[in-house]
Amino acid sequence: WTDGTLLDAENSLTELAALAETAGSQVLEGLIQRRNRPDPATYIGRGKVDDLSSVVLSAGADTVICDGELSPSQLRNLEQRTKVKVVDRTALILDIFAQHAKSKEGRAQVELAQLEYLLPRLRGWGETLSRQTGGSGRGGGAGGGVGVRGPGETKLETDRRRIRHRIARLRREIKAMRTVRETKRARRTRNAVPAVAIAGYTNAGKSSLLNRLTGAGVLVEDALFATLDPTTRRSTTSDGRVYTLSDTVGFVRHLPHQIVEAFRSTLEEVAEADLVVHVVDGTHPDPEEQVRAVREVLGEVGADRLPELLVVNKTDAADEETLLRLKRLWPDAVFVSAHNGRGIDDLRETIERRLPRPAVELRVVLP
Ligand code: GDP
């Protein structure tokens, strides 16, 4: 469902399809419904569920992915009606993060986010479980508070307790890992090595640009979130000054709150940078919206006050009209193609120019 414009909904659905493909699914059909608010029981309207069921049947789909966060009961109702697995946007993104997290800290953060997502949802699953166990153990018919106090409930409580312990432990571990990272960062600050963070919407070409700029062998995938853990490379300016370039986690619109929190440390790294190179995909149907979304997230981690260098990438594949429009809109942006290398020298020079200059030390020698 959508309460926005149809174009918004279509863009969001295109993004969802790209996310699903990243997670390894094959996308068959898209379905949009305009409503003022989601249906409390079934998310989309009850009539629309019938349409959905017939689409599922005719397309031979085995999964329905919803572009939003479903309540446990909406999820259960939709699964019962469509007879296939139902996944929401948050679960999908968490799944992708889990597939791609590489560092120890990244993996711990993903697991924490997954458990936090799971914990309130255990209820729906537990209710079904306790009803089943209660039914067979007590001859059925147990309703209300009595029926749910079966062995399933005990099991559910145990599961919940175990998950809470694990969450607490992960939080402690992440805190310790963060201290280590901050120490490293403090060292960098002491050495006064300027840091450049490459930020941008997911799939904008951040890894490709980092490779172009430094020749580093960073994994490039035609997949969203190929980059999860910040990859830092050293580079040198033409006059011999050293600086670092870091690839950062890709942004998406409506980032689930579990992920924003879990990945704050990764994003905080951006806030420590001296310059943010903000990469925009010139072939995207709505680059302005992408820029707006990324700036919003940068604002959330306090990185919106940093100097920003806008870079429009994929100029080899973008259409001329769009590029002209974007040039007028962002006169200071650098236009590049990570693929054919066009504009890369210009980008390198612009980055060097915008790096902070080391403070000039003035020594007065007294006799
Ligand atoms: P990231 O998620 O922002 O790190 O993006 P990647 O660097 O992994 O690139 C995402 C996709 O865009 C990959 O399929 C790249 O091959 C493609 N890509 C990156 N740069 C360019 C470019 O300049 N032109 C074109 N046509 N495709 C590009």
Q: Report the 3 state secondary structure along 275-310.
A: EEEEEEECCCCCHHHHHHHHHHHHHHCCCCCCCEEE
pLDDT at 285: 86
> Which tokens is 84 given?
């296939």
Q: Report the atom number in ligand 1 closest to the C-alpha of 220.
A: 8
Q: Give the Cα separation of 128 and 148 in Å (integer).
A: 9
pLDDT at 127: 44
Q: Give the Cα separation of 350 and 309 in Å (integer).
A: 8
Q: Report the atom number in ligand 1 closest to the C-alpha of 247.
A: 4
> 282, 326 in Cβ contact below 8 A?
yes
pLDDT at 239: 84
Q: Does residue 345 have a pLDDT over 90?
A: yes
Ligand 1 first shell, C-beta below 6 A: 200, 202-208, 220-222, 226-227, 250, 313-314, 316-317, 337-339
Name the more confident of 345 and 246.
345
Instruction: Decide if the complex's ipTM is over 0.90.
Output: yes
Q: Does residue 129 have a pLDDT over 50?
A: no
Confidence of residue 228 (pLDDT cuts 50, 70, 90): very low
Give the CA distances from residue 145 to residues 126, 148, 350, in Å, rounded to whole numbers and listed in that order.
14, 6, 67
The stretch 268-275 carries a mean pLDDT of: 79
The stretch 97-120 carries a mean pLDDT of: 80
Confidence of residue 42 (pLDDT cuts 50, 70, 90): very high
Q: Report the atom number in ligand 1 closest to the C-alpha of 202.
A: 2
Confidence of residue 242 (pLDDT cuts 50, 70, 90): confident
Q: Which residue has the tokens 């992915």?
A: 65
Long-range Cβ pairs for the range 107-113 (8 Å, 24+): 108/170, 108/173, 108/174, 108/177, 109/174, 109/262, 109/263, 109/265, 109/266, 110/262, 111/166, 111/170, 112/167, 112/170, 112/171, 112/174, 112/262, 113/256, 113/258, 113/259, 113/261, 113/262, 113/263
pLDDT at 106: 75
> Which tokens is 9 given?
């909904």
Q: How far is the CA of 305 from the centre of ligand 1 (A)?
A: 27
The C-alpha angle with vertex 327 and arms to 324 and 332, in degrees rounded to 5, equals 170
Give the CA distances from residue 20 to residues 15, 25, 59, 201, 203, in Å, rounded to whole numbers and listed in that order.
9, 5, 16, 16, 14
Q: How far is the CA of 205 from the centre of ligand 1 (A)?
A: 4
pLDDT at 24: 77
The stretch 313-335 carries a mean pLDDT of: 97
> 194, 146 in Cβ contact below 8 A?
no
> 122, 163 in Cβ contact below 8 A?
yes
Task: Give the lowest-confidence range in 35-44, 207-216, 247-256, 332-341.
Answer: 247-256
Q: Give the Cα separation of 4 and 28 in Å (integer).
A: 24
> 276, 302 in Cβ contact below 8 A?
no
- Probe target for ligand 1 pocket from 202, 214, 220, with the most ligand atoms within 8 Å of CB: 220
pLDDT at 229: 45
Q: How far is the CA of 209 from the centre of ligand 1 (A)?
A: 8
Specify the pairing of strand 63-66 against strand 231-236.
Answer: unpaired
pLDDT at 121: 80
Name the more confident of 105 and 209.
209
pTM of the shown model: 0.65
What is the share, in percent, of the chain residues with pLDDT greater than 70?
A: 73
pLDDT at 166: 96
Confidence of residue 6 (pLDDT cuts 50, 70, 90): confident
Confidence of residue 100 (pLDDT cuts 50, 70, 90): low
> 262, 109 in Cβ contact below 8 A?
yes
Which residue, judged by its Cα, is nearest atom 28 of ligand 1?
314
Q: Report the atom number in ligand 1 closest to the C-alpha of 211.
A: 7
CA atoms within 13 A on the CB side of 133: 16
Q: How far is the CA of 55 from the centre of ligand 1 (A)?
A: 33
pLDDT at 226: 44
Residue type (1 letter), 216:
A
Q: How far is the CA of 314 from the centre of ligand 1 (A)?
A: 7
Confidence of residue 200 (pLDDT cuts 50, 70, 90): confident
Which residue, judged by its Cα, is nearest atom 6 of ligand 1?
205
Q: How far is the CA of 297 from the centre of ligand 1 (A)?
A: 21
